[in-house]
Amino acid sequence: MLKKSNSRSIYIPPEEIDISAMRAQGAGGQNVNKVATAVHLRFDIRASSLNESHKSRLLALSDQRITDEGVIVIKAQQHRSQEMNRQDAIERLHDLVQSVSNPPRPRKPTRPTLGSKKRRLASKSQRSQIKALRGKFEE
């Protein structure tokens, strides 16, 4: 169901996506109180067929669209037609899942350069002198 031009695309079966229609918020026109054009998409991360590494990275995201229960909730009401809002919600879900498809690169620890060590020690000794001069003055 979800596919992108990326070669390492992630497939999410349509059965795992729960889409419901509702009335859109905000100003409208003649159809605003009659037509349910907004779309509410729900995707349960824990019950999905994604592999465990994708699930754990999705659950670790600090995204407001992911609930405490591990359900992604996306509301789409940008377009005037329900079908376009449905496509928009599915694309946004795919983008979110695709964002965690590549694992983060491990950090390689580096050492400070000799110049940065010297600058740090020089600023420490200068600060130390400033504070030493704050002491009581004896005559």
Q: What is the pTM of this model?
A: 0.65
**Residues 67-113 pLDDT 10s:** 888 899 999 988 888 899 999 999 999 999 888 888 888 999 999 99
Architecture of domain 14-99: 2-Layer Sandwich (3.30)
What pLDDT, on the 0 to 100 scale, is given for residue 32?
A: 62
Structural domain boundaries of the chain? 14-99
DSSP 27-94: ---TTTTT---EEEEEEESTTSSS-HHHHHHHHH---TTB-TTSEEEEEE-SSSSHHHHHHHHHHHHH
For 45, residues 6+ apart whose C-beta sits below 8 A from its C-beta are: 55, 58, 59, 66, 70, 71, 72
The three-class DSSP label of residue 21 is strand
